Structure 1
Amino acid sequence: MADKDRDDTGRDKAGRDDTGREEEPKVQDKRKIDPETGEPRVETPAADRAPEDGDGLSDEDLALLADAEKDLVAEYREIAARAQADLKNFRTRVERDRAANREAVIAEVIRSLLPVIDDLDRADAHGDLVEGAPLTLVSQKLRAGFEKYGLRRVGEVGETFDPNIHEAVVHLPDPDAEGETVKDVIEVGYALGDRLIRAAKVAVSAPPAS
C-alpha cells in the first residue's frame, strides 16, 4: 500500500498499521445516567480526585517542606518574642515617664508654696503657732498634705556639709572642726523623693585655712 494512503499515525484508511492490525476503537462513556444503577452520574473535578501514582511528593520533598515549616515557625516565634519584649519595654518607659512628669508637676506646685511654708516656720519660731489656733491647724494640714507626696526637709545642724543639698552662705573657721559641718540652718531646704526642690542655706564651720 502506498504511503500516500496512510495518515500521520502510519495507519491506512481502515485503521490498519504496517502489520495489518486494526486499531481497537476507544469508547468514552459520556452518558449522564449510569446504565446499571439508573442514577445520575456526578462528574468529579480534577482537583477533587484522589491522587494517583506519581502525583504525590517524594520523601525528600516532604523532608524539605517539614524543615521549611520548622524554620518558619521558629522565625515567627522569634518575631513574637521580640515584639513582646519591645511592648514590655515601651510600657516600662511610659510608666517611668508618667511618674517623672507627675513628680515634676508636684514639685513645681510645692516650689510655688515654699514662701508660705517659710512664713509658717517663722511664725512657729516666734511662738505664734499655739496649739488649737486656726493658723496652727492650717499649718498642720498643709504640712501633712505635702508629706503625703513625699516632701521632706533638707538641712540639719551638725550634719556634714554636702554641696548637692546645701548652699553655704556663711563660713565659720573652727579650730576644733575636723571637716565642713553645718553649724546653723538659715533657710530650710526641701526635697521630693530624689528631686531637690530647694537647697538648704546653711552656715558652715570648717578648720581654718593653714
Structure 2
Amino acid sequence: MREHLLAALQFQEGHLPLRYLGLPLLASRLSISDCQPLLLKIDSRIKGWDSIQLSFAGRLQLIKSVLMSLNVYWAMAFILPKGVIRAVEKRMRHFLWKGNSAVGYPKVAWSDVCRPMEEGGLGIRDILALNKALMSRHLWNVIQSNQSSIWVQWIAHTHLRHKSVWTVDAKGGSWGWRKLLRLRSALLPYIEFKVGNGEIFSIWHDPWHSSAL
C-alpha cells in the first residue's frame, strides 16, 4: 500500500530525523548534536568577519542584529538544550571581547552584558530567557484555544482531551510537550481570565480576573 501511494503521488520517502526550512524534524528529544547546524552557521558568520577590522561597537551590533536573529529562529521552534545555549553564548562572548584577535578577556560578567542598556548592560538578549519567552507564545495559543492554529487543534485533541492546560499531566506526551508544560508556572502569575460565555474558561482551574463576572 505504501509503495503504491508513493508511486501514485510521486513522493520520495524520507526518514527521521530530517531537515525542513533549516530546522531538524525529530521523533525524539532535541540533542546538542541536532543543533550543530546552528553552531556551524554562527561560526561561519563570525569567520566571515575575520577580514574586517571591527570596533567593539561594530561587533556588538553584529551580535544583536545577525547572531541573535539566528538564535531567535531556532528558539521559536525548540526549547534549546542548555549545552547549546552555553555554546552560543561562548561564541558571542569570544567575538565581543576578542574579535579576530587571540588576545583579550571579558571585562564584565556575561549576565551583566545581557542587561538592558538603561540598567548598565549592553542590551544583548539573554538566550535562555528569550527562548522561554518565545516558547511561552505557543503555550499562550493553547491557553487561548486559538482555533486558527492547526497545531493548537491537534494539541487539544491529542493531549488535552477536554482537560485544562493547567491541570493536564506533564508526564505524558512527547519530550517537547512536556518541556512546554514546564513553562506553566512562569506564565500563571501573569494570566487572569474573564469568564465571558465560559467556552474557553474553566471555573475550577483557570485564574479569575478581578472583574471576571
For the criterion TM > 0.5, the same-fold answer is no
TM-score normalised by structure 1 residue count: 0.23
Q: Could you say which structure has the larger radius of gyration?
A: 1
**Going by fraction, where is strand more abundant, 1 or 2?**
1
**Going by fraction, where is helix more abundant, 1 or 2?**
2
TM-score normalised by structure 2 residue count: 0.23
